[in-house]
Amino acid sequence: MNPFPLDDDLCDGLGPETAEYLSTWAVNARTSYALRNWLTGGLSGAKVCVVDEIGRDRVMRRLILKVEEFPKAAIDGRLGEYGRHSDALHEAPKGFAWAHLTELVYGPIPVGLRRLALFQQVVGADVGEFVLLGALLDGARASEGRAHAEDFTVACETVVRSVLADWAEKPRALSAEGRERWRAGKDGRVRVSDFLDVSLAEWPAAKAVTTKRSEAIRGNYIAVEGEPRKLPNPLAVVAGETLIAGHEFLPLMGKAHGDLHIKNILLPVDPARSSGADPAAYRLVDLAKYRQELPLTGDPVYLILYVIARVMPDLSHSQRDALVDLLTRPASGAAHLIPGWLAGFITRVIAVARGWAGESRMARDWDEQSLLSMVAHGLVYWARGSTRPEDQEWFLRLSGRALAEYQRAVLPMAAAAAPPREPPTSKRTADPNWIAQFCGLLPELRRRAAGTELVTEVEALVAAAQLGDDATDRLDALIRRMDDLNGGGLRHVPGLRGGWPLMEDAFACPTGFCPRLDTRQPTHGVPLCHIPQERRMTLRRR
């Protein structure tokens, strides 16, 4: 006879060590547990099930039991799921926690080395009457009709809209604590490289793999199957080795799940609906990656990529090509080339998220930062061991394409200069002084080149600087030609190679990419970095 206050099925599923630890606790808590059903979890390896509890005075209730492996980094202060879940309950807007989160019961219960058991209950509902959103995806894939696909898409739209509007409420700037974590300046602006690096750090295993693989994938560009031209290397950007890595922007931050996917969303059963479930009353589980300050673009992008990773076996090579186009350029017209239900799901989730951002007049920022979240999460799936080997290259391609589109938006000259597949990969110059010199001279170069054939060469150098290519000789040749045409005056620039040292306080390049120094000019104020297009960056005082 089973001596534990856990039934045989629950003991078998948890394993002997966990069952013994949990039983010891249950005896002292005067409770017993019987397994009702297992819930399929995500990729964390956690065990999740629904149990019936009998407590003191034979009081019964139905709970969710989850056993999680606590990360080794916990000894350094990293919170596990219990801590993150507690934060989410405490920080959620009034009503959201009650409506869409689960309530923690008891505290975290140690059930082994770095292993905790967590009990949760769904307030106001029977947890046994919920289904995973993933069940609707199965219906959408299997059905030739439109009903199941529409149910799945509506459910995803509903959850994404609610997570943004009801949980995050509004996009926010970083707090002082958030600025430290995201390595932002006092103005809250974050570098692209830091945005990607910190985003990857939320997935320690994937971060370790990308770091290791980056040693073998060098250079500013990568050649990927299916792409006619080389793509920007996202690993080089994470490492801060290209100009786009230093581009700064104000991230749209707020409360976010951090791991939003179809197996972390519960829907209450509703027999009156064709899907059998009510999306408006959804519940979120597995809050192990919740934070009060995360990129708000992350949850919608991750949800989309999670679904794609599961349907990749259903797609042909041409459909995969079209899928990259649809994700990175939603208005490209590629939607008709992939299965209708999948195209509808992607376009409508993108639209509902963008529409929410548009209410704050942030639609353009949302588009750009969604591309960066796609770069980060594309790398996560590329590095993840559970991703099929034949699909990993596709996710690296998606990451590179998203980066190329982001670069096109913020540094259009660099995007236009992407090399074809055949030439050798460009390498960042070991001596970026030419970029410093070029940046300081650019306004004058453009003025002198206006109306001449030199305009093309000036703009080509802009692209080379944005890409980090070595164009020292080309700049020297251009300066000589302009000196010959205009009588000199360009070669002796204070603080630059071949000029005089600065003798007063100087301002440094805000990107950290080039060593340009300059001083405040009486008639022009603080110097500017001239290379980026559209968004000039003020130089910072050293």
Whether the CB-CB separation of 249 and 192 falls below 8 Å is answered with yes
Residue 428 domain flag = no
The predicted pLDDT at position 453 comes to 78
99 torsion bin: left (phi>0), alpha (psi -120 to 50), beta (else): alpha
109 & 136 share domain: no
Estimate the crossing angle of helix 363-383 against helix 204-214, to 10 degrees.
80
Q: Which residues contact 88 (CB under 8 A, 6 or more apart)?
A: 97, 101, 255, 287, 290
The predicted pLDDT at position 117 comes to 94
| Cα 462 from Cα 183, distance rounded (Å) | 27
Whether the CB-CB separation of 413 and 459 falls below 8 Å is answered with yes
Q: Residue 294: what are its φ and ψ, rounded to 5°?
A: -130, 160
| Cα 510 from Cα 538, distance rounded (Å) | 7
Identity of the amino acid at 536: R
119 & 135 share domain: no
98 & 177 share domain: no
Residue 423 domain flag = no
Q: Which residues contact 60 (CB under 8 A, 6 or more apart)?
A: 52, 53, 54
CA 542 to the chain's CA centroid? 32
DSSP string, 72-134: GGGGGT---HHHHHHHHHHHSPTTHHHHHSPEEEEEEEE-STTEEEEEEE-TTS-GGGEEETH
Of 358, 390, 416, the position where a domain reaches its end is 416
CA 234 to the chain's CA centroid? 13
| Cα 213 from Cα 218, distance rounded (Å) | 9
162 & 295 share domain: yes
| Cα 531 from Cα 534, distance rounded (Å) | 10
Whether the CB-CB separation of 357 and 161 falls below 8 Å is answered with no
Helix, strand or coil, per DSSP, at residue 402: helix
56 & 36 share domain: yes
391 & 485 share domain: no
Residue 409 domain flag = yes
| Cα 141 from Cα 342, distance rounded (Å) | 9
| Cα 542 from Cα 520, distance rounded (Å) | 12
Q: Which residue has the tokens 């931050």?
A: 253
281 & 185 share domain: yes
| Cα 522 from Cα 518, distance rounded (Å) | 13
Residue 378 domain flag = yes
The predicted pLDDT at position 519 comes to 67
Residue 189 domain flag = yes
pLDDT tens for the chain, residues 1 to 542: 455 699 999 999 999 999 999 999 999 999 999 999 887 654 556 788 899 999 988 899 999 999 987 655 444 456 788 899 999 999 999 899 999 999 999 999 999 988 899 999 987 666 667 888 888 887 777 654 556 788 899 999 999 999 999 999 999 999 999 999 999 999 999 999 999 999 999 999 899 999 999 888 888 889 998 888 889 999 999 998 887 898 999 999 999 999 999 999 999 887 666 667 788 999 999 999 999 999 999 999 999 999 999 999 999 999 999 999 999 999 888 888 999 999 999 999 999 999 999 999 999 999 999 999 999 999 999 999 889 998 999 999 999 999 999 998 887 655 554 555 444 333 444 456 778 778 878 888 888 888 787 877 887 787 777 666 778 888 888 888 887 776 655 554 444 444 444 445 566 665 555 667 666 665 556 677 767 544 455 555 54
390 & 507 share domain: no
CA-based torsion, 74, 78, 81, 85: positive or negative: positive
Q: What is the CATH number of the domain that holds 62?
A: 3.30.200
Closest CA to 263 of 132, 153, 384: 132
Domain extent at residue 244: 131-416
97 & 151 share domain: no
Percent helix, strand, coil in the chain, to 5, is 50, 15, 35
114 & 153 share domain: no
Residue 421 domain flag = no
Of 106, 124, 142, the position where a domain reaches its end is 124
Closest CA to 253 of 299, 193, 289: 299
| Cα 404 from Cα 371, distance rounded (Å) | 9
Estimate the crossing angle of helix 298-311 against helix 340-358, to 10 degrees.
180
DSSP string, 133-197: THHHHHHHHH-SSSHHHHHHHHHHHHHHHHIIIIII-S-B---HHHHHHTT--TT--EEHHHHHH
Please classify residue 157 by burial: count the beta carbons closer than 10 Å to its beta carbon, then call 0-12 exposed, 13-18 middle and 19+ buried: middle
277 & 309 share domain: yes
CA-based torsion, 4, 5, 9, 11: positive or negative: negative
β-sheet bridge partners, residue 104: 120
Q: What is the CATH number of the domain that holds 369?
A: 3.90.1200
| Cα 159 from Cα 165, distance rounded (Å) | 10
- Record the pTM: 0.77
Please give the DSSP secondary-structure letter assigned to residue 259: S
| Cα 234 from Cα 242, distance rounded (Å) | 10
Closest CA to 531 of 463, 480, 478: 463
Residue 425 domain flag = no
Could you tell me the end-to-end alpha-carbon distance of the chain, in angstroms, rounded to an integer?
75
85 & 139 share domain: no
Of 366, 383, 416, the position where a domain reaches its end is 416
Number of structural domains the chain divides into: 3
Residue 470 domain flag = yes
